[in-house]
Structure 1
Amino acid sequence: MSTRPLLERFTERDWETSTEGTVRFALVGLGWWTVDVVIPAIEESDRCETTVLVSSSAEKADRLAEHHGAERGITYEAFHDGDAADDYDAVYVGTPNAYHLEYVETAADLGKAVLCEKPLEATVERAERLVEAAEATDIPLMTAYRMHTEPAVRRAKELIEDGFIGEPTHVYGNNTQPVLEMIPDPDQWRLDPDVTGYGTSVMDLGIYPLNTARFLLERDPVDVRARMNSEHEAFADVPDQNATATVTLEGGLPLVITTSQHAQTDTQLKIIGTEGSIELHPAFHGEATLHLSKGSLRATIEDVDIAAVEEMREEFDYFADRVCSGESILPDGRHGLADLRTIAAIHESAERGERIEL
């Protein structure tokens, strides 16, 4: 099998439905991800523009707005009051998990499209309210899964649909990182259950192999079994410093997920079938590399220009494409809600030591 045709169209935007229109964004929550990744991604995008920055601090919002060429910086309170509503078309919600709902509700009241970070909220119940708020006002709502527009993932999906691996038999995904080295603060929000939600590793990292496998295979979970533990003192308030879950997907397909916020950085997703295998390694944090195996074929396909910021650029342009064209969005709010229900079941399984049906 030749991989040349795949390489020649590796970065093709096969999702694009239009090239007309620009979406102006208000960015809510100006942490490092928004400032260092989202704003540069929007600057590189074809269809998006940052016009309003929203923070708890008026000084920070104004300073960053001036630095990045946005029209205005406003506070959270001013956002809820509808200030600057004429200056943006859509809202990106990049706050910690437990604060998503209130900003989506305000955006819905203002009739603004929403791109909300994953997981949608800290609990299933709050995520349900979030989705219902968007549906009640009929605004576009997208869960911010950047892997859906990652070129390596889209080409992998294409190969699976074309029968490259035959019938899938096993799926394995890992996502680990040393969060205390990345952010050396034991009081950070990812270790606070009131803010992060059910836990830290599955909510923040395990969601990647879970959702990417769902997207690639178009199969949803039917039951889960899980184990988790926390030994380091910084993880005393969350149950999943380390976690392992076996998720049964539709058709009896096992997906094994391992994840940790206290381990070496490693990301991979491997799908094995009756005739071949496809692996993304690294998978979830920039420069995704596609490895193919079938019989005597061993091939590695990577595009070194695809980095984390560019993944986000594709995500934002996809969202703008759907907002401008009115075409349906995947992943929408219901899609994101399904993952949060699975994550809740993973935590319940680990706590009870039982298989949990979905």
Structure 2
Amino acid sequence: MGLESYFEDFARRDWQETVPDGTVRLAIVGIGGFARNRALPAIDASDYCETTVLVTGSPDSSLEIADEYDVETVSSYDDFLEGDATDAYDAVYVATPNATHGEYAVAAADRGKHVLCEKPLDTTVQRARATIDACDDAGVTLMTAYRLQLEPSVRRTRELIEDGVIGDVVQIHAGFSNPLLEQAGPESWRLDPDLSGGGALVDLGVYPLNTIRFLLERDPIAVTATTHSTDEAFADVDEHVAFQLEFPGVVTASCTASYNSHPTSGLRVIGTEGLVSVSSPFGGVVPHDIYVECGDVGMEYGGAPGDEVLEEFDYFGYCILTGTEPEPDGEDSLRDIVAVEATYGAAASGKTVEIPSLE
């Protein structure tokens, strides 16, 4: 099969086998910057989801947002936890600070509601496992918001790897940087380790980590790492992180993340017979620029930008409406949390740390 076949209908939804009827009514728990600027517009454009409830710490000041998206019900966090307006939604999208994810996800599951939760599920392995167990016990769908897994460039890259186009994968290089203070300011909850669970690694480094695991369809077995914080604003969390993951066999992945450098991202997969390079895979609105080299043949594709957040919500709605198990489930996030804990351990000790298996 020629390289050009991978670029035909590049943005195809290979996860979609049918066109389901209806939509999933969502309660958006937490309407901070990402939810307002990215999630709500994406849901509004979605085929399979709609927003029917907003849950916020400031219901009165959120009425303008509710009007903009024609949302009739606005609840406080306490009212949500007490079961307010449960007839008005079928599922929740949890977008609160990391350490509170589990609380709201479990409350939703206990009322028979499906859950789409921002990464990570929680800030510790134990609490993440409790969320998974609560959703399993309730028989509801739990999906972690790993939107990169729905991004066409990433999906096409996995196909190229699976088909052996670049031979056996040997090395992967990936990085993601975003200047936090330019967007969120020094009062951001992301700078509070009790709420965030960490800094650049937890918020940005997890994108390369999860994407690489998705591409290889295997988990890392060991990690070495360094973290640095020089700006006073990042005194309590990691400002910069570099880590190298070891996978079974000979595959290594070198990853970086930064809270205080020029915004950029990149992904490069090198095999024994070729390579795949994806431009700006981790930015949200992805340009669909990908370069593939196989032996002496190289081919570049550049497509119109796609909104992976929209893809994420359509995928979540599709899974619920069709009874499909989402690929980025709760276990997927749990494996990342285990790897993140090992990475911080490696950075603190200066030694290679084995990553425990969940098997």
Give yes or no for TM over 0.5. Answer: yes
Q: Which residue number in structure 2 is paired with residue 23 of structure 1? A: 24
Matches within 5 A, 1:251-270: 251-270=249-268
Q: What amino acid is aligned across from residue 26 of structure 1 in structure 2? A: A
Contact 1:62 1:74 survives alignment (8 Å)? no
Where do 4+ consecutive residues of structure 1 move more than 6 Å?
A: none
SS at match of 2:121: coil
Contact 1:175 1:205 survives alignment (8 Å)? yes
User: After alignment, is 260-269 or 281-290 more displaced?
Assistant: 281-290
Q: Which residue number in structure 2 is paired with residue 215 of structure 1? A: 214
User: After alignment, is 74-83 or 105-114 more displaced?
Assistant: 74-83
CA distance in 2, matches of 1:269, 1:112: 36
Pairwise CA distance, 1:117:
0.3
CA distance in 1, matches of 2:247, 2:96: 31
Q: Which residue number in structure 1 is paired with residue 319 of structure 2? A: 322
Contact 1:17 1:325 survives alignment (8 Å)? no
Confirm or deny that 1:272 pairs with 2:253: no
Q: Deviations over 1:281-338 (max 9, x none)?
A: 11111224211122332322122231xxx21111111111111111211110011110
Q: What amino acid is aligned across from residue 242 of structure 2 in structure 1? A: T
User: After alignment, is 6-15 or 50-59 more displaced?
Assistant: 6-15
**What is the TM-score normalised by the length of structure 2?**
0.95
Contact 2:174 2:256 survives alignment (8 Å)? yes
CA distance in 1, matches of 2:223, 2:161: 24
Pairwise CA distance, 1:179:
1.1
CA distance in 2, matches of 1:3, 1:166: 14
Q: Which residue number in structure 2 is paired with residue 9 of structure 1? A: 9
CA distance in 2, matches of 1:251, 1:32: 41
What are the ranges of 5 or more consecutive residues in structure 2 without an aligned counterpart? none
Q: Which residue number in structure 2 is paired with residue 241 of structure 1? A: 239
Q: What amino acid is aligned across from residue 290 of structure 1 in structure 2? A: I
Contact 2:213 2:219 survives alignment (8 Å)? yes
What are the ranges of 5 or more consecutive residues in structure 1 without an aligned counterpart? none
Contact 1:267 1:284 survives alignment (8 Å)? yes
Q: Which residue number in structure 2 is paired with residue 55 of structure 1? A: 56
Q: Deviations over 1:155-197 (max 9, x none)?
A: 11111111111000111111111111222x2221111111110
Matches within 5 A, 1:195-214: 195-197=195-197, 199-214=198-213
Contact 1:61 1:74 survives alignment (8 Å)? no
Q: Which residue number in structure 2 is paired with residue 41 of structure 1? A: 42
User: After alignment, is 1-10 or 140-149 more displaced?
Assistant: 1-10
CA distance in 1, matches of 2:277, 2:63: 44
Pairwise CA distance, 1:251:
2.4
Q: Which residue number in structure 1 is paired with residue 248 of structure 2? A: 250
Pairwise CA distance, 1:2:
4.9
Confirm or deny that 1:75 pairs with 2:76: yes
Pairwise CA distance, 1:3:
4.4
CA distance in 1, matches of 2:231, 2:222: 29
**What is the TM-score normalised by the length of structure 1?**
0.95
Q: Which residue number in structure 1 is paired with residue 302 of structure 2? A: 302
CA distance in 1, matches of 2:145, 2:116: 6
Q: Deviations over 1:27-72 (max 9, x none)?
A: 0000011011001111111111111111011213433212211121
Matches within 5 A, 1:180-191: 180-183=181-184, 185-191=185-191
